[in-house]
Structure formats: C-alpha cells, structure tokens
Amino acid sequence: MPEAAAAPPHRSDRLDALRGTAIVWMAVYHFCFDLNHFGWIRQDFYRDPVWTWQRSCIVSLFLFCAGGGQAFAVLAGQGSGRFRKRWGQVAGCAALVSLGSWFMFPGSWISFGVLHGIAVMLLLLRLGLSRLPNVALLVLAALAIAAPRLLQLDFFDMRWTNWVGLVTHKPITEDYVPVLPWLGLMLLGFVVTRLRPGLWAGAAPRPLAVLGRWSLSFYMAHQPVLIGLLMAVQMLR
C-alpha cells in the first residue's frame, strides 16, 4: 500500500523568520520615532523619505507575510474555527491600538492602522478572494496597488470612509494602512506562496522564526515597553 502524502504544513520557518525580520525593523523604527517624540532627536517621520520609505517597506513585509500565511492555512485545510479565533485576536488588538492612541495622540489617533487593515484584508481574502485563480488575484493585486493613484474622491476623506484608501489627501493619524493599495501586497504574498510553497521550505534563523510566530504579541507589547523605558530614563536625567 503506498504511503499517504504528507499534509501541507500550516506554516513555514522561513516565512516566520521574514515576519520576524519585519518585527525587528519595526521595533528599531518605532524606537527612533519615540526618541523623536521625546525630543532626543529631530527627524521628520511624516515627510522625510528616509523614514516614509522604511515604513512602507515594513508594512509591505507584514502584509506579504500575512498573505503567505493564509496561503499555507488554505493549503493545509485550516478550519474556519481557527481562522475566527486568530481574526478575533487581530481585531481585538486593533481596537486596543485605537483606544491607546486616542489617549496618547487625541488629535491623530489611529482609526485604521496596520492591524485594522490586516483584519479587513484577511476577511476579504479568506471569505472570497482565496477561491479565485492565481491569474485573477494577480490582476486584482495590480488594480489594488494602482487604484489610489488613479481615483481619489472627497467622499473617502472622512475618518469613517478613509479605510478604503481612495483619499484625496492622507488623514492626520499616527498610522494609516487602508485596504487600497495594501491589499495588493497581501494578495501577492498569497499567490506566491500558493504557487510555490517550496520557496519557504528549509531552515531559518531560530530567533527570528520564533519572533515571527509571536508577532502580534510583540507588536502589542513593544511600544508600551519602549515608551515606559524612555519615560523612566527621562525622569532620572
């Protein structure tokens, strides 16, 4: 009797390590942002390309990895219950980010940041888009990336509609990751991984892989820890 084919893995060490790399990069970026917030350095994080391009690269890595993770989940036949649990964690953390940012930055609180974007994009991907063929997803990814440059409407400038991304100007907020164009990066990660899951096979740096598996917990904890440490140092100076 022939051996049964091995079940596809639920995740990949290499993909987790890539996510872990994004986490480390994000932590360094946020540490510099916090130093600027406390007045220890002077940088323009909102307009200087040195910082805006870093932010774009970090978010792109996160969303590409999120798409790849969902491809592994679909290939492995992950049940809806596990997806709902993970999605609930992401959505709950997004709500906490909004609440925390409202206390710290009341004039520019986060209504639709990276976790909010990931929560909505995961729903779009798992509840419909993942059933489409790869060619269709690549076309949608290209359209999603191009859409904000081709169409901007005043209607989407309101805080309760700017999550779509077709804004005429960037809203005043500490983090903004709308569905368009960023859905395109998640779709690319999904298609690449579904087409070639073997790209992620093999060993990866263990610390980064572990960090990538706990990315949500690290994301939620790192800023309170960094800000707390800087406040303590500032009080002791």
Give 180-235 pLDDT, tens digit per residue.
999 999 999 999 999 999 999 989 999 999 999 999 999 999 999 999 999 999 88
- How much is the mean pLDDT over the chain? 93
Distance of alpha carbon 63 from alpha carbon 187, whole angstroms: 9
Residue found under tokens 């925390």: 100
